[in-house]
Structure 1
Amino acid sequence: MVVDPQKTESALYSVPPVERALSLLRHIGDGHRCRNLNRTSAELGINRTTLIRLIHTLVANRMIEEIDEGAGYRLGPGLISLAAQAIHGRDIVQVCQPLLAELAHKTGMSAHLGILDGTDLVYLSRETPNTHLISNMRPGSRLPAYTSSAGRAILAEMTDDAIRALFSGVDLERVTAKTPQSVEAILAQARQDRQAGFAWSEGGFEAGIGACGAVVLDHRARPVGAINVAGPENRFVEEGNDRPGPIRDAVRSVARQASMGLGYVVGVQ
């Protein structure tokens, strides 16, 4: 049996009360209201008395809040404030925010910034045009990286071995008929995106929605995030044979500007 030293060290220094509090926060964040404390106690494996004390402590610190009497709990303003500070403290958000606004204005579509978190793509920021809202992806939204144009753009910058290691043993979620259903299919998709220099989607994540994503690199030419736009699929189908097209050009240009803002120098790395 091979022991992962990193996991062993993590278990050694883990603080159980903190682990329980984090488990409860994630549970509530996933939409569970914790109306039935006995059920919540069983689901989380936390003693009921301990659970009650955790809830009171988190409420007192505004990490969670009661919705209505007896209606359960939701994440509170204290946690939202911490999350906002964490997001906006990242250099990549500060660099990309004005570029996203420019991209949304230029394309007339929602523009997003995302980063890789394990096998998921997590959105950090979004800008929308003054038109009917197409995308419901908000900061904090996450989805399987291989289903998102932004996630695919990041995966395209990884080696085949790194992708295999990342998705080893992972149950792949089938979102649409176009979703890769094996690691080899993800690799084939990544190679195609790598060759193109962007990730293009026509209804790949949601029927009727198209998207285009491009990677953001740091000063060491490492993929640290990706920018994408999402809008009506017909706009992407119409442009699909026009390479390069206006949408593609706009997304790649903004991703390149963001990379340069993070210290990436084209042609040097």
Structure 2
Amino acid sequence: MNTDIQPKSPGYSVQPVVRALTVLRYIAAGNRCRKISHAAKATGVNRTTLIRILATLEAERIIEALPDEGGYRLGTGLISLAAEALNDRGIVPTARPVLCQLVDQLKLSAHLGVREGHEIVYLARETPVSHLASTVREGTRLPAHATTIGRILLAELSRADLQALYADYPLEAYTTKTRTSLAALVDQLAEDRSRGVSWSVANFEAEIGSAAAPVYNHRGEAVAAINVTGHAGIFTEGTEQAAAIEAALKSAAQQISEALGYRGWAADQM
């Protein structure tokens, strides 16, 4: 008989572990535990227990003492564990189930892409059961300046980096809406960055609408972006449908980013 237990509810919680994690999160938030009585009150952990927890975490290199300043910070042992966890979470396997959820929710095609120089490369695609499903394949390359995934990733670059990237590179027009001058592109990217998504109503391809949001890693770097595509009419701005697309897209990008270790969303809300 299999006696292994797979705990799935709070009833299986081990309180000493819960208290240790509470202390660890307290330190991770920037609290150094310099005053034990204050830290005990803030964490709800008994003073004597807190001292023992700190000693144990330090011995295991999960935290380390700050000899000059006093108190503690996260240690190399924890950083190593985090690095191993992040390495095990490749961006494609992490993003794919979220893209599937996005397709189910919006009934639009969803993609994951990265930027390589002047182009974007599609890494994953999920589509609804529809004759309007995307025909873009994984591995497809498209111009960054004219696509939503490309624009939202270019929006992360500084003005100097953009100028260096496109100094001797022509901005080809794909529709009448495509930005073909660096000045016009810079203005468009500023709007994308401010909004948190890039939006297209037939900007790249006639009758096709699209919107993209960035995906961040644990260092706060925009390492990829996701988008949804469909008939241009669905992306008419100012409608409830467009608002629902934008909200769902941002939520999906946040979900993937957090799975990759990004915590900037919480910082932005503080």
- TM-score w.r.t. length of structure 2: 0.63
Q: Within 5 A, what are the aligned runs for 1:86-165? A: 91-165=90-164
Residue by residue over 1:66-90, the C-alpha shift from the partner in whole angstroms, topping out at 9 and shown as x without a partner, is: xxxxxxxxxxxxxxxxxxxxxxx98
Deviation at 1:242, TM superposition (A): 4.8
By how many angstroms is 1:166 displaced?
1.4
Aligned counterpart, 1:251: 249
Runs of 4+ in 1 over 6 A off after TM superposition: none
Aligned position for 1:215: 214
**Amino acid paired to 2:255:** Q
Match of 1:199 in 2: 198
Q: Offset at 1:147?
A: 0.9
- Once residues 199 and 103 of structure 1 are traced to their aligned partners in structure 2, the CA distance between those partners, rounded to angstroms, is 17
Are residues 1:171 and 2:186 paired? no
Shift of 1:268: 3.7
Count of equivalent residues:
180
Secondary structure in 1 aligned to 2:250?
helix
Q: Secondary structure at the match of 1:245?
A: helix
Q: What secondary structure, in the 3-state scheme, does the structure 2 residue paired with 1:126 have?
A: strand
Q: Equivalents in 1 of 2:151, 2:173: separation in Å?
A: 15
Q: How far, CA to CA, are the matches of 1:268 and 1:130 in structure 2?
A: 38
TM normalised by structure 1 equals 0.64
Question: Larger Rg: 1 or 2?
Answer: 2
CA distance in structure 1 between the aligned counterparts of 2:266 and 2:110, rounded to whole angstroms:
27
Query: Distance between the aligned counterparts of 2:140 and 2:147, measured in 1?
Result: 12
SS at match of 1:212: strand
What residue in structure 2 maps to residue 13 of structure 1? none
> For the residues of structure 2 that align with 1:125 and 1:161, how far apart are their CA atoms?
31
The residue type equivalent to 1:224 in the other structure is: V
In 2: Cα distance, 1:162 partner to 1:140 partner = 25
DSSP-derived class of the 2:190 partner: helix
Contact 2:125 2:138 in 1 (8 A): yes
- Cα distance in 2 for partners of 1:218, 1:177 equals 35
Q: State the shift of 1:204 in Å.
A: 0.6
Matched residues in 1 for 2:119 and 2:240: separation?
Answer: 30
What displacement does 1:134 show? 3.0
Residue 168 (structure 1) shift: 1.6
Identity within the alignment, %: 42
